Amino acid sequence: KNQVEQSPQSLIILEGKNCTLQCNYTVSPFSNLRWYKQDTGRGPVSLTIMTFSENTKSNGRYTATLDADTKQSSLHITASQLSDSASYICVVTKARSNDYKLSFGAGTTVTVRA
């Protein structure tokens, strides 16, 4: 079972609307959680990174939240634009891990339509 679960798998929204993506994880002990945006045919680009002591982090129209107690995170996209169409991946790093491997969610594919 994947240690990072994302929902929904995909969603379609109209330009200008908001949307929220969910990420639940079981990775323990927890070091940090990142949200990445991956455009089709490109590598992932970091949007936000949060440690266990942070509840929210913003990057422009992207706002990530983290509840380390319930092991849940969300990514909120405000006033969506066509360029927001991409896959959004939740990635969790395990603390005290010598191999520094990341646990990837399967991603949420967001399609913004005019």
Partner 1 sequence: GAVVSQHPSRVICKSGTSVKIECRSLDFQATTMFWYRQFPKQSLMLMATSNEGSKATYEQGVEKDKFLINHASLTLSTLTVTSAHPEDSSFYICSARFLAGGPLDEQFFGPGTRLTVL
Piece of 20-28, 49-57, 58-66, 75-83 that binds partner 1 (CB under 8 A): 49-57
99: contact with partner 1 by CB under 8 A: yes
Choice between 88 and 112, CB closer to partner 1 = 88
Q: Please classify residue 73 by burial: count the beta carbons closer than 10 Å to its beta carbon, then call 0-12 exposed, 13-18 middle and 19+ buried.
A: buried
Candidates 28, 95, 111, 113: give the one binding partner 1 (CB under 8 A).
95
Q: Please classify residue 2 by burial: count the beta carbons closer than 10 Å to its beta carbon, then call 0-12 exposed, 13-18 middle and 19+ buried.
A: exposed
With b meaning 16 or more CB within 10 Å and e meaning fewer, what string describes 91-108?
bbbbeeeeeeeebbbebb
Candidates 46, 55, 58, 81: give the one binding partner 1 (CB under 8 A).
46
Q: How far is the CB of 16 from partner 1 (least distance, A)?
A: 27
Q: How far is the CB of 31 from partner 1 (least distance, A)?
A: 5
